């Protein structure tokens, strides 16, 4: 018997959009306020119901873990990118760029530790703009010394596209469900 997998839980999220009067297309007199957010640990897109009298701002960090929540009443559930409002969609890329910048070491370590997935495919090749030539050069250069930053990676590998922007693009593609293999989004 296969043991049950632990449920992935987010602890903190960044508000992408806040709809004080709920979705405009929903009917009914008792519309609840709703926030569309991005979970910081697993990059999950979620809908949250704030507590009464709480007003949230885009880019505001909120606690959504198991403990006592100050601003959030409950998590309504996961949502897909196509359900995001225009404001949330516009905020999403900026928030992801900020997260990748803040946690640069995690994403640089991806290039330091990436492994083959199959006989013909390597994890590095999943990054947009990174083909076999870049992959082989990255593998050779990292043998000498692990990469320390995006700037170090770009300086040591010739003609490499911007690694930070490539990672952001990959995360967005994974969120949109356009990729078979998940590297950064759970």
Choose the final residue of a domain: 55, 85, 115. Answer: 85
Average pLDDT rounded to a whole number, residues 60-76: 90
* 60 is a domain residue: yes
Q: What is the pLDDT of residues 81-121, one digit of tens each?
A: 999 999 999 999 999 999 999 999 999 999 999 999 989 99
| 165 in any annotated domain | yes
Is 16 found in the same domain as 81?
Answer: yes
Whether residues 71 and 116 share a domain: the answer is no
pLDDT(56) > 70: yes
Q: What totals of helices (H) and strands (E) does the chain contain, helices first?
A: 5, 5
The answer to whether residue 73 sits within a structural domain is yes
For 78, residues 6+ apart whose C-beta sits below 8 A from its C-beta are: 44, 45, 46, 47
- pLDDT of 29: 56
> Model confidence over 122-152: pLDDT tens digits?
999 999 999 999 999 999 999 999 999 999 9
58: domain CATH number is 2.40.50.140
- Residue 183 CB coordination number (10 Å): 16
Decide if pLDDT at 8 tops 70. Answer: no
- The pLDDT value given to residue 27: 64
pLDDT at 4: 55
**Torsion angles phi and psi, residue 41, rounded to 5:** -80, -45
pLDDT above 90 (res 47): yes
Q: How confident is the model at residue 66 (pLDDT cuts 50, 70, 90)?
A: confident
pLDDT in tens, 150-172: 999 999 998 999 999 999 999 99
CATH number, domain with residue 155: 1.10.150.280
Tally of domains within the chain: 2
Tell me if residue 74 falls in helix, strand or coil: strand
Position 43 in a domain: yes
Is 7 domain-assigned?
A: no
Instruction: Indicate the average pLDDT of the chain.
Output: 90
**Residue 7 clears pLDDT 70, i.e. is over it:** no
Of 3, 12, 124, 24, the closest CA to residue 71 belongs to 12
14-30, pLDDT tens digit by residue?
999 999 888 877 666 56
> Can you give the residue range of the structural domain that contains 122?
103-175
Q: Say if 55 falls within a structural domain.
A: yes
Residue 37 lies inside a defined structural domain of this protein: yes
């Amino acid at each position: 018997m296969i043991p049950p997998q632990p449920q992935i839980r987010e602890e903190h999220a960044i508000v992408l959009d806040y709809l004080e009067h709920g979705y405009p297309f929903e009917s009914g007199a008792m519309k609840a306020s709703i926030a569309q957010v991005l979970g910081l640990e697993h990059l999950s897109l979620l809908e949250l119901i704030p507590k009464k009298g709480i007003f949230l701002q885009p880019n505001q960090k909120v606690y959504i873990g198991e403990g006592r929540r100050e601003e959030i009443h409950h998590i309504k559930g996961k949502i897909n990118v196509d359900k995001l409002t225009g404001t949330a969609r516009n905020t999403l890329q900026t928030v992801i760029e900020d997260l990748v910048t803040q946690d640069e070491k995690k994403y640089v370590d991806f290039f330091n530790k990436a492994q083959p997935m199959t006989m013909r495919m390597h994890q590095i090749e999943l990054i947009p703009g990174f083909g076999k030539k870049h992959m082989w050069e990255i593998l050779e250069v990292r043998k000498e010394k692990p990469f320390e930053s995006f700037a170090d990676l770009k300086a040591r590998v010739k003609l490499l596209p911007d690694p930070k922007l490539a990672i952001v693009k990959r995360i967005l593609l994974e969120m949109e469900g356009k990729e078979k293999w998940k590297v950064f989004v759970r």
